[in-house]
Chains A and B, each alone.
Chain A
Amino acid sequence: MIVTRSWLSEFVDLEGISDESICDTLNSIGLEVASLKKIIIPEGIVVGKIISCEKHPDADKLNVCEVDIGYGVRQIVCGATNVVDAEYVAVATIGAKLQDGLEIKHTQLRGVDSDGMICSASELGLPKIGEGIMILDASIGELKIGEPLQNYKTINDSIIEVELTPNRGDCLSILGVARDLSAAYNREMKLIDVKLYEHTSRAGISRHATLESEEKFDIELIFALVNIDVLRLPLVIDLRLAFVQEEAKDSITAITLYATLSTGVIIRAYNEGCFAKEDEVAKIKISKNTQELIEVLASGNRCSIVGVNQFEGCAPIVNGEKVFIEASYVSPQNLAQADLSKKDIPTDRYYYNTSRGSNPDVNLGIRYTLKLLEKSSNTEIYDGFLTHEHKRENTIIKVSIAELSRIIGADLEKSNVISILKRLGFDVSISNEDFLAITVPLFRADIVNSQDIAEEILRMIGIDNIEPRALSFVESYHQRANLDEYLAKKSIRYKSVGAGFYETISYMFSERKLLEKYGFETVDANLELLNPIVEELNTLRTTLLINLLLAAKRNANYSKRTIPLFEIGAVFDNKRKQKEKIAFLFSGNSESENITNSGKPKIISAASFIEKLGSAIGIIELAPCSHQNGLIHPYQSADIVIEGKLCGYISKLHLNAQEDFGLKDTFIAELDVNALIKRKKVASAISNFQGVYKDLSVVLAKDIVYSDISAQIDALNLKHLRSFYPIDIYNDSSLKNDRSLTLRMFIQSSEKTLEDNDIEDVVSSILSKLEESFGAKLR
């Protein structure tokens, strides 16, 4: 909603209040100011009166005008065609500097002297209004020849754009905003003059039109009939519509739009032709259509849907014809129930207002419009109105000052509360000592309970004037489960960063085609997104890895040579069940290019990826890979097992995928976050007896997986075997399908110093187990 200061001033006295104060006040009462623009007409522009206007002797398109500028008459050559109709105009006198920097000087145009310039609106820094020069009229204020244009407040206006919240349909009008300002500044509203001139010889409307209705509908409608003779739009209306960025295609629409913006009442005009054939009585009919909306019909033709639109061919066309003026109201609740969004019904400019609550005072609206017409044309207004009324009950809210004070948290004064409410248009009566009975005006359908009333008081007092108070709270035992989970995740995030992975966030969406291509599950069709925003994000993600790979691809395109990323976030399964995962990706160089590696760091390998992963998420076990998808390398991948539970996988990126995403060697891992969170650590006693390291080399078949070997050794449950790990593998052609594996064991007792045979026992038990299970031979 855009308002202007001079327009507001027609409804409320703003004398002596600065524009900045108005903006601050609007902000503090909940009408957020988006912008303030002040129009200032340059110096040296004055009101001039054209005394004569003749064709230029040597130029068809130019006119030579004698213009009275108060302190003399100047000859000015003007190129605008509409100058011939003009009487009062804006004259830039010698020395004036226009908005674009042009300085007005004496000049000759095709041999004729010209001492000044007759200006168009845009040359003065105003929005463009029509074609040619701006013709002044008394609507901007009394026209005094020679008066600087700077002195006209209607032109040197301040334009304020206000962002309204959806509950404030009443402020979609100058009147509504003015009413809020009157309450905020505690100033009287001005009386709106809608008294029409007295005519004794008026013809009655009923001889030209009738209104009938199938039943009493929940709408307000009022029709007036006018006979418009030459309508000249007052400049102030033209200007203000331009200031507030509204456009009207003809003068009558401009008047009804202006009236709608002024009062908030929806005003439309219809040509008589759409209601009646010549000399017939117009039969206007109101009925409900199949979509539960109220229509205005004439001779069976649909003219408009109340509060929604007006059908083409109904708008007035030319001057000098009879025109119906209609003011209407339909409640936003009724419109909402009809739910236009699903019915494909075209809506017009006013639907925004009606859906948020237009002004129900149709009487004010229609009289305001008629008064405008009367002032700006030789309009004949027919006597009387055709009306369809609906009796509306005002909401009455009973509330005590004490309750309002408790909601706000400040001690309110009764007189202040009453004064604020009255200025906002509420009726207040005191039912007993403390209780107020508040009658809510019909234009404030958003006010239904005492908290709404508290809000009205709060915004007028100003939240900034409320003293903050600390809330004392009875401490109770808080469930720590979520906090512990949060802290655990935070710790993993910090460790992952320490291990060199960048934390990333990607959208929780993915491209269905891409998921399918790489063999991931997708959300079942009957659970799928109905209205995705783009194709690349047309389904819920079932893995974090595709998004990480896309991010890696972008980074590779930006010439990043080391790409370490991780993400924690939700993924969904085919039943759309949500699960939290963590995924890691490392692509390209395993470390930065630096002095140690002579700028040639090694490319990431399984060993170094697993090492980094361990730094991030702690001890993990790896087992032969049981997962399958298009990202997994069939020969360099493994399951991740934590505390005996399978919770994810780690893999070198499949060559096909590596090519698709344009990456160098890349490793990926994805696992359940839960598996990382619920880790409980139990300490066992530390032995102070000396331990020994022993190496054991065996030869066994190449295809035997180490995790199977370690499982077998674990199963032996050897008392003195503290730990063991592989330290070397070796194969050459002589070994054929075998390979040599060296294990290092740390052997220690918790009870005594070991003797040789104790150590020998451990080694031989392992060896014989390996012989028995895998056909291993001592090397």
Chain B
Amino acid sequence: MEDLKKASQLIDQSASTDDLEKARVEIFGKKGLLSKGFVKLKDLQGDEKKVEAQRLNELKDTLTQLFDTRYVEIKNKEIEQKLKEDALDLTLYQNSHQTAALHPVVETMDRIIEYFVSMNFSIETGPLVEDDFHNFEALNLPKNHPARDMQDTFYFADNSLLRTHTSPVQIRKMMSTKPPIRMIAPGVVFRRDYDLTHTPMFHQVEGLVVDVKDKVNFAHLKSILTEFLLEMFGDVKVRFRPSFFPFTEPSSEVDISCIFCKGKGCRVCSNTGWIEILGCGIVDPNVFKSVGYEDVSGYAFGIGIERLAMLIHEIPDLRSLFEGDIRLLEQFR
């Protein structure tokens, strides 16, 4: 009993893993308490020896358990202490990151492109400096057509011009391929207009689908654009209004119910409850004629990106989009 008392005292009084190691040597070591006991065994005989041996084994088990428990206890304490010493307020570092942001207009264009690519539309591109034929003439906008008023054009000294819409890409595509065609043409376009709500350059995504005669009709156009707008804006109402574009007939403008006031009427929708998003229509026969297509049918649409981006992100000022203003851009991180 003396042994047990002394040994457990040794274990209990250890305050560190170092103390505990010393205690271990004193108790379990070669010259330790237990060994001494076991050595004495050889002086004993018969039952006495047996009893003593059993006692020593039990003592060893008890002490081992005591030791292990104490060891875990002390080890945990020490780890906890080290962790505490290592304490650091990570929230202090939350402004250390370096990420920037995509431009909201390009990011919006990405979303549009991704939708139509997933619908198996091909991506087409064309030159920014265009000629009268591709930009106007072939699109049923002959010289002096009143609809040319709608597009104030930048001209060059050699009579070429900056494209006023992405539609010339349609013409180039149709003149270089046979139908069927299913394409979008994303890119920048130019109009000679510069004020609070107009910039001389902005972005469009044009769409064109052409197949054999009588195959493509207005109901198809309505189907894909409705689905697209629901995909972009979620739970909105979509409205088609007849309109006029020289290159489509019938033509339509498409509105969605105002995403800010849910159609009740507010400043953004000029109290109409509706926001105009895009223009579309059935391709005018004159356009097909000018690219030499016969017996085809098709639809086309055009989406202005800046307006969409401004709506989605509630950006107040159109011109700020072209100024590389980090105060605006950093909000999209």
| B98 CB-CB contact with A under 8 Å | yes
A590 to chain B, nearest CB (A): 9
| Cβ contacts under 8 Å, A289 to chain B | none
Across the interface, do A408 and B120 meet the contact criterion of CB distance under 8 Å?
no
Across the interface, do A576 and B250 meet the contact criterion of CB distance under 8 Å?
no
A-facing residues in B83-134 (Cβ within 8 Å): 92-93, 95-103, 105-106, 110, 113, 117, 120, 122-125, 127-129
| B147 CB-CB contact with A under 8 Å | yes
Interface bracket on A: 35 or more
| Cβ contacts under 8 Å, B260 to chain A | none
Q: Which residue of A lies closest to B201 (CB)?
A: A507
**Bound complex: CA A646 to CA B109 (Å):** 31
**Bound complex: CA A527 to CA B157 (Å):** 5
Stretch binding the partner chain, chosen from A250-258, A468-476, A683-691:
A468-476
The residue from A497, A529, A578 contacting B127, defined by CB atoms under 8 A apart: A578
0 or 1 for each of A465-508: is its CB under 8 Å from B? (1 = yes): 01111110111101100110010001001101111111111111
A140 to chain B, nearest CB (A): 29
The residue from A409, A552, A570 contacting B219, defined by CB atoms under 8 A apart: A409
Across the interface, do B326 and A560 meet the contact criterion of CB distance under 8 Å?
yes
| A753 CB-CB contact with B under 8 Å | no
The residue from A166, A469, A478, A570 contacting B150, defined by CB atoms under 8 A apart: A166
**Bound complex: CA A475 to CA B211 (Å):** 12
Q: Which residue of A lies closest to B192 (CB)?
A: A533
Known pairs A406-B214, A463-B242, A464-B240; A508 contacts B188 (CB<8 A): yes
| Cβ contacts under 8 Å, A526 to chain B | 157-158
B86 to chain A, nearest CB (A): 17
Across the interface, do B219 and A478 meet the contact criterion of CB distance under 8 Å?
no
| B81 CB-CB contact with A under 8 Å | no
Across the interface, do A451 and B244 meet the contact criterion of CB distance under 8 Å?
no
0 or 1 for each of B247-283: is its CB under 8 Å from A? (1 = yes): 0011111000000000000000010100000000010
| B223 CB-CB contact with A under 8 Å | yes
**Bound complex: CA A711 to CA B145 (Å):** 63
**Bound complex: CA A637 to CA B240 (Å):** 56
Stretch binding the partner chain, chosen from A331-339, A663-671, A712-720:
A331-339
**Bound complex: CA A409 to CA B103 (Å):** 39
Known pairs A482-B125, A501-B100, A529-B156; A469 contacts B201 (CB<8 A): no
**Bound complex: CA A333 to CA B147 (Å):** 13
Across the interface, do A500 and B98 meet the contact criterion of CB distance under 8 Å?
yes
Stretch binding the partner chain, chosen from A26-34, A40-48, A190-198:
A26-34
| A201 CB-CB contact with B under 8 Å | no
**Bound complex: CA A4 to CA B88 (Å):** 73
| Cβ contacts under 8 Å, B285 to chain A | 449, 451
0 or 1 for each of A606-648: is its CB under 8 Å from B? (1 = yes): 0000000000000000000000000000000000000000000
Across the interface, do B155 and A451 meet the contact criterion of CB distance under 8 Å?
no
Known pairs A525-B157, A529-B156; A473 contacts B282 (CB<8 A): no
| B308 CB-CB contact with A under 8 Å | no
| B322 CB-CB contact with A under 8 Å | yes
0 or 1 for each of B55-88: is its CB under 8 Å from A? (1 = yes): 0000000000000000000000000000000000
| Cβ contacts under 8 Å, A458 to chain B | 218, 242, 250
**Bound complex: CA A563 to CA B98 (Å):** 12
Across the interface, do A493 and B282 meet the contact criterion of CB distance under 8 Å?
no
Across the interface, do B146 and A166 meet the contact criterion of CB distance under 8 Å?
yes
The residue from A33, A496, A501, A578 contacting B128, defined by CB atoms under 8 A apart: A578
| B231 CB-CB contact with A under 8 Å | no
B154 to chain A, nearest CB (A): 6
| Cβ contacts under 8 Å, B241 to chain A | 27-28, 30, 32, 463
**Bound complex: CA A478 to CA B156 (Å):** 35
| Cβ contacts under 8 Å, A504 to chain B | 103, 324, 329
Interface size for B (C-beta < 8 A) is 86
**Bound complex: CA A576 to CA B34 (Å):** 97
**Bound complex: CA A533 to CA B201 (Å):** 11
Across the interface, do A166 and B149 meet the contact criterion of CB distance under 8 Å?
yes
Across the interface, do B219 and A408 meet the contact criterion of CB distance under 8 Å?
yes
| Cβ contacts under 8 Å, B145 to chain A | 336
Stretch binding the partner chain, chosen from A59-67, A423-431, A592-600:
A592-600
| A452 CB-CB contact with B under 8 Å | yes
| A380 CB-CB contact with B under 8 Å | no
| A389 CB-CB contact with B under 8 Å | no
| A554 CB-CB contact with B under 8 Å | yes
Across the interface, do B325 and A558 meet the contact criterion of CB distance under 8 Å?
yes
| Cβ contacts under 8 Å, A417 to chain B | none
| B284 CB-CB contact with A under 8 Å | yes
A145 to chain B, nearest CB (A): 39
Q: Which residue of B lies closest to A165 (CB)?
A: B244
Known pairs A468-B219, A474-B180, A497-B99; A505 contacts B124 (CB<8 A): no
Known pairs A473-B211, A528-B156, A595-B93; A451 contacts B149 (CB<8 A): no
**Bound complex: CA A504 to CA B100 (Å):** 11
A292 to chain B, nearest CB (A): 12
Q: Which of A451, A452, A551 has the most CB of B within 10 A?
A: A451
Give the dominant DSSP class at B's interface.
Answer: mixed
| Cβ contacts under 8 Å, B291 to chain A | none
| Cβ contacts under 8 Å, A563 to chain B | 326
Q: Which residue of A lies closest to B124 (CB)?
A: A482
| A356 CB-CB contact with B under 8 Å | yes
The residue from A336, A406, A459 contacting B144, defined by CB atoms under 8 A apart: A336
| B47 CB-CB contact with A under 8 Å | no
| B204 CB-CB contact with A under 8 Å | no
B300 to chain A, nearest CB (A): 13
The residue from B120, B127, B150 contacting A473, defined by CB atoms under 8 A apart: B120
| Cβ contacts under 8 Å, A527 to chain B | 156-158, 160
Q: Which of A454, A507, A564 has the most CB of B within 10 A?
A: A507
**Bound complex: CA A530 to CA B158 (Å):** 9
| A117 CB-CB contact with B under 8 Å | no
**Bound complex: CA A724 to CA B329 (Å):** 40
B-facing residues in A408-451 (Cβ within 8 Å): 408-410, 449, 451
Across the interface, do B146 and A332 meet the contact criterion of CB distance under 8 Å?
yes
B163 to chain A, nearest CB (A): 11
Across the interface, do B182 and A473 meet the contact criterion of CB distance under 8 Å?
yes
Q: Which residue of A lies closest to B271 (CB)?
A: A35
| Cβ contacts under 8 Å, B215 to chain A | 471
Q: Which residue of B lies closest to A498 (CB)?
A: B99
0 or 1 for each of A570-584: is its CB under 8 Å from B? (1 = yes): 101000101000000
| Cβ contacts under 8 Å, A569 to chain B | 188
Across the interface, do B249 and A452 meet the contact criterion of CB distance under 8 Å?
yes
| B22 CB-CB contact with A under 8 Å | no
Across the interface, do A483 and B117 meet the contact criterion of CB distance under 8 Å?
yes
Q: List 26 A-B contacts (CB under 8 A).
A: A165-B244, A166-B146, A336-B143, A451-B284, A454-B282, A463-B222, A466-B240, A467-B219, A469-B223, A476-B180, A482-B124, A483-B123, A499-B100, A502-B330, A503-B100, A505-B105, A507-B322, A508-B190, A508-B201, A527-B158, A533-B193, A560-B327, A569-B188, A578-B127, A594-B93, A595-B92
Listed in ascending order, the chain B residues whose CB lies under 8 Å from chain A are 92-93, 95-103, 105-106, 110, 113, 117, 120, 122-125, 127-129, 143-147, 149-150, 154-158, 160, 180, 182, 188, 190, 192-194, 199-201, 209, 211, 214-220, 222-224, 226, 239-244, 249-253, 270, 272, 282, 284-285, 297, 321-327, 329-330
Listed in ascending order, the chain A residues whose CB lies under 8 Å from chain B are 27-30, 32-35, 165-168, 332, 336-337, 339, 355-356, 403, 406-410, 449, 451-452, 454-455, 458-459, 463-464, 466-471, 473-476, 478-479, 482-483, 486, 490, 493-494, 496-509, 525-534, 537, 547-548, 550-552, 554-555, 558, 560, 563-565, 567, 569-570, 572, 576, 578, 591-592, 594-596
